[in-house]
Structure 1
Amino acid sequence: MRFAQSSPASYQHHQPTTENPFVLLSGHFLFFMYAFHAAISIRYWFAIDIAIRYRYRSYPACSIASSDSDSERTTTPVAAWLR
């Protein structure tokens, strides 16, 4: 006898079995893993994009078409890391 007859049905249902060893490879689990990985990847690339924009926000090439560029300026802006 595998389980005692007095065991609750829910207890019997949640026991690990060897009948289906590929339970973790179900469609729902794989979709969850794909969605989780995609969300992490998107956050990672946005963080890189924000870091690059923050690092080069005063770079001369980025301010050519910027609305805050001063057309009356006589000196060329130089990035801080070039000084």
Structure 2
Amino acid sequence: MVDFSGLADKAKNLVAEHSEQVKGGVDKVGEFVGNKIGHDKVDPIEDKIGGLVDTIAGDRTPDGPATPATPPVVPPPAAPPVTPPV
């Protein structure tokens, strides 16, 4: 059976590793298609794809998901209730 999760991870890693080449290819295709149907229709899509590539490249490293730069903020535990003296 095909491991689609593994394939998706490989694809994301490749996009992260080669993000500039991917965006260059998107630009070339967008230029070609934009000349045929109009750049007003194609340019917003190019921008969204470029943003997606940037997001994937920022969230991934060639070895897998990037580790967060800072650990998540966890609030300190609540203080135990104070019992009044008897």
TM-score by length of 1: 0.32
TM-score by length of 2: 0.31
Q: Tell me which of the two structures has the higher relative contact order, counting C-alpha pairs closer than 8 angstroms and 6 or more residues apart.
A: 2
Structure with max Cα Rg: 1
Q: Higher helix fraction: Structure 1 or Structure 2?
A: 2
Q: Higher strand fraction: Structure 1 or Structure 2?
A: 2
